[in-house]
Structure 1
């Protein structure tokens, strides 16, 4: 499904949004996490795939590969830890904690009895558990029925206590709120709801690092023209998309790129929000192979940023995503193989669907001069699922990636 957003504009970045989320705050977050052991301090790769660009009929096609952001395996490593740091600073101002000292465990004895809780589809909970372990506080993670045991084990490995509930992600969010109230534990969620926006804002703010790196890796300066004409962003509750799009909007103002939102057909809450003009719920089952995008309700806070700047909304099938995973893993003589998980490939799948319909592609402005970016948000965070869908293990794809690089460097 495809929808052109009538409320998207080419205005300057509004002051009321900048007061909530800004480039300056994103840079501060990036600095605070610069010493965290679970983050690789080098920028994640920005792969240019000329073979894919030629096949798609565009001037350039790039993949920002977040699989190497952290041993945690996804971009979520940028959000949960900064939200935890800011939460502790707000709740304990009398302690005068140093933000960098928090994430490196300098105050773990003073925080041993402090507990946070969150619901998750996997990646956010894993990042929060790792951050809590580094800080020295306790962490409780609520998982719904569709989260794999493999993802559960990856979270528990960082010392989190796991609570399992029936139902989907949205029901796990409701259960989390109830448990948090009973125990007096603060919630560190990446989705907002009525009366709960500060922590999700901090999570979203952390994702600005991705956009900052993109500029450094291309033009090298924010004053230059945006290196991409089109940026495809994954849905979920909207947090990652809001964090990246708001940063690029503030930097490039009226010259921002075209933003295209992509979701699973059965988890179309942002698509429905665009149609209705307000934060809405998904119309499908929500259960998708794209586990990180299997969310049934739009974050109202994220929607404030997405409604005025996302130009087009799309939904894709699970089969579309699996095919894109296989294509990126395969590589070619000109294109490096890329380990991209189920939720990572939504942008490529959507672009391929668009180009099958020339009229729709023209509506979006995709042509021979287009420079297209997708964000590969995760690697093989569920290795057995990845191997089943792609037909080979992530280790095998990584080995071919290294061999490709060696051949290019000869």
Structure 2
């Protein structure tokens, strides 16, 4: 029997699924029949990991188990994947850029990427064929730095567009990788369009971590690249005989990294996969707004997207990523900057026995949110809704270190007097 609720009942149902408060808004959309992403199937991800392992400087980043902090929060386990060590770049984004460039160049050189190693691109004859290529992207910081570094490793040039309000240190770090940086007077999403126009006008190659109609393949490769991080974390959990996570918190800007993590765990664990929660800044919560609309389609958020979480200041979702997150996520959570600040401070001083983690504004949102949920009585209903308790094993991803060191020090130690 087909049941069609009235608009009044729909509104009542939506209200029940949404919990609001001063710092956090959460929505729990109705579950859909999931479509397991082919690009994140185990055999595909294995190819990506093999290529990353061939790149100079590759090393598995730490997975930190924080038992003292977990106990104080009322959890069984808290795991944090620390991406500040990735390729010496202080963030995970190079995983997407390196794999995307390998795919792009493999196609151009008619080489099967499934068996390609980074050493192939170091050959003088290959370098001669690719040295005039220019790669371009838009970034809030980490993706652009990752692309600039990856292009430089291949002997190629890069041009990086950055939005208004970009921290000067993030621009300088990208320039140190040999890129030309152009700061616009626009927000992130409009800067993406500017980068796409520049690529078209100059014959450059756009390597963007979000997709739109007619531009899907390269963003899909970037999502695949991020899956290496997810694969490492699950491998570390199993190798150390830790409990599998019951809850996985992942932050989202355009959603590419979140989709890689969620899609990987869903494919690997199937019915044993954890509850997935997608977090965003409340100033750029396009995923939350899309879930709130409850019609399966992505929504955009406009304006200047003012948040300290620069890596999450994206108002338009990657459609490919949105489909994965829509199908598998239990809840979507919109958070104020204060939640990220709590996470940064918490990881900097987690307890006498736990190892401190340097986590930046976009990296610390997960632990900050978990801390709010588990310690503040006004979040008790939300905590219960999310089934967080003393039997919970929580996995978070600290996707960046102190990419803005001055702001990090100010948040952790207070302003200099």
Structure 2 length as normaliser, TM-score? 0.87
What runs of 5+ residues in structure 1 fail to find an aligned partner?
A: 394-410
Deviation, structure 1 residue 21? 3.0
Q: Which residue of 1 aligns with 2:259?
A: 242
Q: 1:284 to 1:263 in 2, by over 3 A?
A: farther
Q: CA deviation at 1:102?
A: 4.7
CA RMSD of aligned residues (A): 2.2
- 1:198 equivalent in structure 2: 217
Q: Can you list the C-alpha shifts for 1:300-332, whole angstroms capped at 9, x where unaligned?
A: 011121110011011111122112201211232
Closer, same or farther: CA 337–315 of 1 in aligned 2, 3 Å: same
Q: Is the 8 A contact 1:2 1:312 kept in 2?
A: yes
2:182 aligned counterpart, secondary structure: strand
Looking at structure 2, the residues matched to 158 and 181 of structure 1 have their Cα atoms a distance apart, in angstroms, of 23
Give CA deviations for 1:62-107 in whole Å, capped at 9, x if unaligned. Answer: 1111111221111112111111110111233279994423554652
Is the alpha carbon distance of 1:28 and 1:303 closer, same or farther for their aligned partners in structure 2, counting shifts above 3 Å?
same
Distance 1:189 1:175 in 2: 12
- The question of 1:262 aligning with 2:279 is answered yes
The residue that corresponds to 2:4 in the other structure is none
DSSP-derived class of the 1:172 partner: helix
Q: Which residue of 1 aligns with 2:389?
A: 367
Answer yes or no: is the 8 Å Cα contact 2:98–2:147 preserved in 1.
yes
Within-5 A mapping of 1:74-153: 74-93=91-110, 98-102=116-120, 104=122, 106=124, 107-153=126-172
**Other structure's SS at 1:70 match:** helix
Quote how far apart the aligned CAs of 1:151 are. Answer: 0.6
Superposed CA offset, 1:50-69 (max 9, x none): 22112211111111111112
The structure 2 residue matched to 1:179, chosen from 179, 198, 219, is 198
- Number of residue pairs matched by the alignment: 384
Shift of residue 354, structure 1, vs aligned partner: 2.7
Question: Would the aligned equivalents of 2:346 and 2:368 in 1 still touch at CA under 8 Å?
Answer: no
- 335, 344, 348: which one aligns with 1:316: 335
User: Contact between 2:246 and 2:275, CA under 8 Å: does it hold in 1?
Assistant: yes
In structure 2, what is the equivalent of residue 386 of structure 1? 408
**Would you say the 8 A contact 2:61–2:81 is kept in 1?**
yes
Rate the CA distance shift 1:104–1:362 in 2: closer, same or farther, 3 A.
farther
- SS of the residue corresponding to residue 239 of structure 2 reads coil
3-state SS of paired residue (2:279): strand
How far apart are the structure 1 equivalents of 2:111 and 2:332? 45
Q: Residues 195 and 226 from structure 1, CA distance in 2 versus in 1: closer, same or farther, beyond 3 angstroms?
A: farther
> What does residue 185 of structure 2 align with?
166
User: Is the CA contact (8 Å cut-off) linking 1:269 and 1:283 kept in structure 2?
Assistant: no
Does the C-alpha gap of structure 1 residues 105 and 274 become closer, same or farther in structure 2, counting only changes over 3 Å?
Answer: farther
Q: Which position in structure 2 is the counterpart of 1:405?
A: none
The reply on whether 1:5 has 2:23 as its aligned counterpart is no
> After TM superposition, which residue ranges in structure 1, 4 or more long, deviate above 3 angstroms?
94-99, 102-106
* CA offsets 1:107-140 (integer angstroms, 9 cap, x no match): 2222111111100110000010011111111111
Could you list the per-position Cα deviations for residues 143-165 of structure 1 after superposition, in whole angstroms to 9, with x for gaps in the alignment? 11121111111001111111221
Q: Report if aligned partners of 2:343, 2:366 keep a CA contact under 8 Å in 1.
A: no
Q: Shift of residue 29 of structure 1?
A: 1.3
- For residues 218-367 of structure 1, what are the structure 2 equivalents within 5 Å? 218-220=237-239, 227-276=244-293, 277-282=296-301, 285-355=304-374, 356=376, 357-367=379-389
CA distance in 1, matches of 2:399, 2:360: 8
Partner-residue secondary structure (3-state), 2:328 = coil
- Distance (Å, rounded) in 2 between the aligned partners of 1:102 and 1:280: 42
